[in-house]
Structure formats: structure tokens, C-alpha cells
Amino acid sequence: MSRKHKFRNPEAFCFVTFTTVNWIDVFTRPLYKDIVVESLNYCIKNKGLVVYAWVIMSNHVHLVIERRCIALEDVLRDLKKYTSRAILKALEENPQESRKAWMLWMFERAGRKNGNNSKYQFWQQHNQPVELTLQAFGIDGAVDYIHNNPVKAGFAYRPEDYSYSSAIDFAGGKGLVDIEPC
């Protein structure tokens, strides 16, 4: 992992992106997105993760986060490890998944190229953290970017109409992840 992709300031708000290998569009089905949502809520409740904004796109996840106790890199490592195993298991067991053989082949192919894996690699290894306290982009810019991502992709007309995002929380509703207001 390069130096520019490390968490430097443990107290900073971070904008984080993690992506499936080869940008595979796994998150086109709610089944797989729900695993990420459940894992985020688990990490919030049990690992001290604080989520201010989030979105799950077809092949990547964006978060604005900070930590309460456990180092962010450790929380994200655990989150990615759990979600990769759970999603791969759900993928293998889903009889309606028309892309199953191809996706498993792609994840296995990526896993063979990386000695850290026993069989599959689901997520790219880096998280691309950006410390928002040090950037001109800022927290508001990161939140706007996250919430407008589904609109730009054509998944929704308005940010708050996309279920797998915190935009609904910012519009006065209650979303799927227990975010903290910022």
C-alpha cells in the first residue's frame, strides 16, 4: 500500500472509498448491499465506528467516518474481511444470480494474483482515505459528492430517493445505517 493511502491522523474525519476488484458491479442486488449495511451498523455499535455519510454504488462504497476507539484501518480491515466472506457466500448460494460463475471466476483470478488470499479477493486492498480536516474538499464537499453519486449514475432523480445512502437522513428521514449528524 502506498504512503498516500494510509491513515495518518487518528483524530481526523476521513473520506474513504473501497472498491471491488476489477470494478465488478456486485452491488446491483439488494442482497449484497444489505450485507454491507449490516456490517456498517455492527461496526458502529460494537467497534466505535462513527459514520457521518455513506453510499453504496454498484462496485464501490464511499464513507465519511471517524473512530471512537479502534483505529480506522483496523475497523475497515475487519469490515472488508467480513463483507467479502459474507458476500461471496451469498453469491455462491444465490440460485438466481445469473453472473455467479463469471464473478466467482474473476474474484478467484484476483485472489491467485495476491498471496494474502487463500482463494478469492473481493475488495481492492486500499481504502484511499482522505483526511477532510486537511483538504479544501472538506466535509460538506465530501457529503455532497457521496449523496449526488447515485443521481449522477442515474440510480435516482434526487439523492434522498436512493435507499443505500445517508441522503435520506439529511432530508429528515431515517436511513438504513445509524449515522451521526454532522
Work out the mean pLDDT of the chain and round it to a whole number. 90
Confidence tier at 123 by pLDDT (50, 70, 90)? very high
pLDDT value at residue 73: 87
Question: In this predicted model, what pLDDT tens digit does every residue of 13-68 receive, in sequence order?
Answer: 889 999 999 999 999 999 999 999 999 999 999 999 999 999 999 999 999 999 88
End-to-end CA distance of the chain: 30
The residue among 97, 78, 95 whose CA lies nearest residue 24 is 97
All domains in the chain, ordered by first residue: 3-170 (3.30.70.1290)
Give the H/E segment covering residue 98: none
Euclidean distance between CA atoms 168 and 170, whole angstroms: 5
Question: In this predicted model, what pLDDT tens digit does every residue of 160-174 receive, in sequence order?
Answer: 999 999 999 999 999
